[in-house]
Amino acid sequence: MSTIAETASRAQTRRRVRVDGWRWGGRIFLVFMLLYTAVPMIWMLITSIKSGFAATQFPPQWWPDEPTLASYQKLLDPQNSVGQDFLRFFWNSLFVSTATTILSVIVAVPAAYAFSRFSFPGRNFLFFTVLLRNMFPAVIFLVPLFILMRAIGLVNTHGSLILTYLTFGLPLAIWLLKGFYDNIPVQLEQAARIDGATRFQAFILIVMPLSTPGIIATAIYSFIGAWNEYIYAYTFLSKNEQLTLPVGIQRFFSENTTDFPGLMAASFMMSVPVVVLFLVLQRYFVRALTEGAVKH
């Protein structure tokens, strides 16, 4: 008895010494990662409140002598042409991303449910086909899709983007949701059906509420993906009033490349909606990944 206790306590002291080394290593590493992650973002913010003159000094002003919100005022003022463009791009991005998100959920939920619950012939084949979509770069699809969109009259419309974005959000959405449905006991639905609910009612009343975190995660993923997408928007849209933010900002600032405060302010405002959305809902996202993707 006593020897066991002795060994255990010895193991514990030995452990404490070692773990402290690891823990300090971990702390130093985290500080390094924090700097790597945060410094670029902080520098973006500091630059965005400088004047064009203050930004182009060497050595740089670490904190601007005269902080100014002029860049933000210019971008958000509907009276001048810069502000008009920026606000229109912002609205376009919001519209395209929201529409994509709603459609993704509507299409992905039934598909994921079917992949989880039913065993119809070709189920595995179809499931992996859907997953394989993740493998292919946008560029492969650009030329044929451009021709296709032109044939069905969608070039230069937001419809072309929504239809395209739908497909690259879907694979992960279906995969995540399938994991969720796999973990919801079938017995719950069976009980509901014994009580006289139809399959559809059981789905809406029992399964849907239980999979809310998965649906929220799916929605965030689709929204962020659509908000940040660049290459299709860059190729499909040419009219200035149709552009979404990433392309709009690029077009805008390739014309006057020296306005770094303006560019940083625009980058910051483009990031705000998705960052806020993600921070508010991130626990759902991490949970969905744990339950959906990892545990399986």
CA separation for the pair 271, 267 (Å, rounded): 6
Provide the minimum distance between the beta carbon of 255 and another protein in the complex, in angstroms, as a whole number: 14
Closest to another protein by CB, 140 or 205: 140
Which of 51, 133, 201, 210 is close enough to bind another protein by CB under 8 A?
A: 133
Interface map 224-263 toward another protein (x if CB under 8 A) = x--xx-xx---x---------xx--xx--x------x--x
Options 6, 67, 80, 186; binder of another protein; rule CB under 8 A:
186
Is residue 134 within 8 Å of residue 172, measured between CB atoms?
yes
Nearer to another protein, 63 or 79 (CB): 63
Smallest separation (angstroms) from another protein to the CB of 21 = 8
Closer to another protein by Cβ: residue 79 or 120: 120
Comparing CB distances to another protein, the nearer of 36 and 209 is 36
DSSP string for 263-279: HHHHHHHHHHHHHHHHH
* Residue 247 and residue 122 in contact, taking contact as beta carbons nearer than 8 Å: no
* Residue 192 is a binding residue for another protein (CB under 8 A): no
270 in contact with another protein (CB under 8 A): yes
Nearest Cα residue to 255 out of 81, 91, 49, 41: 81
Instruction: Please identify, among the stretches 5-13, 77-85, 94-102, 210-218, the one whose residues bind another protein according to the rule CB under 8 A.
Output: 5-13
24 scored as a contact of another protein (CB under 8 A): no
CA distances (Å), origin 30, targets 15, 24, 39, 41: 22, 10, 14, 17
Angle at 165 between CA 160 and CA 167, to 5 degrees: 110
Contact between 188 and another protein per CB under 8 A: no
Binding residues among 66-95 for another protein as defined by CB under 8 A? none
Residue linked to tokens 């789905």: 203
As to burial, measured by CB atoms within 10 angstroms (0-12 exposed, 13-18 middle, 19+ buried), residue 211 is buried
At 89, phi and psi to the nearest 5? -60, -45
- Vertex 55: Cα angle to 54 and 61 (nearest 5): 70
Nearer residue to another protein within complex by CB, 16 or 79: 16
The stretches of the chain forming alpha helices (DSSP H) are 2-48, 52-55, 70-76, 81-117, 123-132, 138-151, 158-183, 186-194, 199-202, 208-210, 212-228, 231-236, 245-255, 260-288
Neighbouring CB atoms inside 10 A of 162's CB total 21
Span of 68-76, 80-88, 185-193, 207-215 interacting with another protein by CB under 8 A: 185-193
Does residue 294 bind another protein (CB under 8 A)?
Answer: yes
The least distance separating another protein from the CB of residue 176, rounded to whole angstroms, comes to 11
Least distance in angstroms from the C-beta of 80 to another protein: 22
Binding flag, residue 278, another protein (CB under 8 A): yes
Q: Which is nearer to another protein, 96 or 166 (CB)?
A: 166
Of 36-44, 69-77, 81-89, 210-218, the segment contacting another protein by CB under 8 A is 36-44
